[in-house]
Amino acid sequence: MYDALIIGGGAAGMSCALVLGSAKPKAFAANKSIGIIIHQKTSHLQTALFNNVLGLTPGTTGTSILESGKEQLSSLYPHVNQIENEKVLEVSKNDTDFIVSTNKNTYQSKIVVITVGYTNLMTIKGLEQYIEPHPRTAIEKDRIWLKNTDHLIEDNLYVAGTLAGWRSQFAIASGSGVHVATDVLTLWNGGKDVKVHDKVHDKVEV
């Protein structure tokens, strides 16, 4: 049983997981159970090369980000459960929670964040009614989005990244995942706005 379960281990999914994980010191997030189904096989990062992203050394490969993202998550925020080698087949709902079925297991979560990318090969059962042509790509590319308002599809069901309707740039997809993470944290904080920042300690004069 999760409080929040992220589906997809690309730019948006891992960015969302990092920010949710980083909120652990805050009382309202301390006991929340967070998971990510960190499927990466079909991530657009598999073939991407980055020269135009602030903070990434020019020449950084997407495959290195896929690897280092998982390591960053497990070393800094080990309480975020990384579920590997599973692909989501269906998202359904009971009275209060979402049921996420993969090719191997079934999970229950209060909140679900879908970040599986914008290709029309997305075939997760239970989401069909939200699929529409992507609003910000050339029509011949045949991309999709899950209709949402400010990332929210319905109560407690979010979408992030290119599948949320954003153009395909790494910083936008990552930022979208972070946006959802801070929305979820704000919800957990009773509606009071949340951000999670680390800070260098004050320098001591010698």
Considering CB under 6 A, how many residues would be counted as binding ligand FAD? 35
E-assigned strands of the chain?
2-7, 34-37, 49-50, 60-61, 80-83, 88-93, 98-102, 106-114, 131-133, 144-146, 152-154, 157-159
Q: Which of 39, 70, 110, 143 binds ligand FAD (CB under 6 A)?
A: 39
Instruction: Using CB positions, name the residue nearest to ligand FAD.
Output: 10
Q: Which pairs count as long-range contacts for 81-87, CB under 8 Å and 24+ apart, including other chains?
A: 81/2, 81/33, 81/34, 81/35, 81/36, 82/9, 82/35, 82/36, 82/38, 83/35, 83/36, 83/37, 83/38, 83/107, 84/38, 85/39, 86/37, 86/39, 87/37, 87/39
Residue burial 135-148, b: 16+ Cβ < 10 Å; e: rest: eebeeeeebbbbeb
Output DSSP code: residue 56. Answer: S
Does position 69 interact with ligand FAD (CB under 6 A)? The reply is: no
Residue 8 binds ligand FAD, judged by CB under 6 A: yes
Selected range binding ligand FAD among 69-77, 105-113, 130-138, 166-174, rule: CB under 6 A: 166-174
Q: Pairing mode, if any, of strands 106-114 and 98-102? A: antiparallel
Question: Interface with ligand FAD includes 44 (CB under 6 A)?
Answer: yes
Among 19, 22, 40, 73, binds ligand FAD (CB under 6 A): 40
Minimum distance, C-beta of residue 156 to ligand FAD, in the bound complex (Å): 19
Question: Of the candidates 5, 6, 20, 45, which one interacts with ligand FAD according to CB under 6 A?
Answer: 45
Single residue of 31, 47, 75, 96 touching ligand FAD by CB under 6 A: 47
Among 27, 31, 52, 75, binds ligand FAD (CB under 6 A): 52
Interface with ligand FAD by CB under 6 A: which range of 45-53, 67-75, 132-140, 193-201?
45-53
The binding site for ligand FAD (CB under 6 A) comprises: 7-13, 37, 39-45, 47-48, 50, 52-53, 62, 87-88, 115-117, 124, 161-163, 168-171, 173
